């Protein structure tokens, strides 16, 4: 067992996530919380359910084509990919 730097650990996690075809295009159901609509046009939020949560970002290029305005407490089904 070695000692990793933070960068080395993040690089390893990134390789694992990005090489898994099941995680490159995934649907996830949850509730939006901690929504921040940044001046850049990006949305930063937490997607949560009763047992867990993940940090998310939706980029401006995607947000322009949304057919609804995301709000905290909104239940959503989202499509995306995982990255570190």
- What's the pLDDT tens digit per position in 50-78? 999 999 999 999 999 999 999 999 999 99
Please provide the average confidence, as pLDDT, over all residues in the chain.
94
Q: What is the pLDDT of residue 2?
A: 86
Q: What is the pLDDT of residue 30?
A: 98
pTM, full prediction: 0.84
Q: What is the pLDDT of residue 23?
A: 86
Q: How far apart are CA 28 and CA 37, in angstroms?
A: 20
How distant, in Å, are the alpha carbons of 7, 12, 82 from that of 76? 32, 30, 17
CB atoms < 10 A from the CB of 68, how many? 7
Q: How far apart are CA 84 and CA 19, in angstroms?
A: 12
């Amino acid at each position: 067992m070695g000692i990793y730097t933070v960068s080395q650990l993040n690089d390893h996690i990134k390789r694992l996530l990005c090489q898994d075809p099941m995680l490159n295009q995934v649907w996830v159901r949850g509730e939006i919380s901690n929504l921040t609509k940044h001046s850049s046009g990006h949305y930063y939020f937490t997607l949560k359910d009763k047992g867990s949560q993940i940090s998310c970002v939706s980029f401006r290029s995607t947000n322009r084509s949304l057919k609804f305005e995301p709000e905290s407490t909104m239940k959503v089904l989202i499509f995306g990919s995982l990255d570190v």
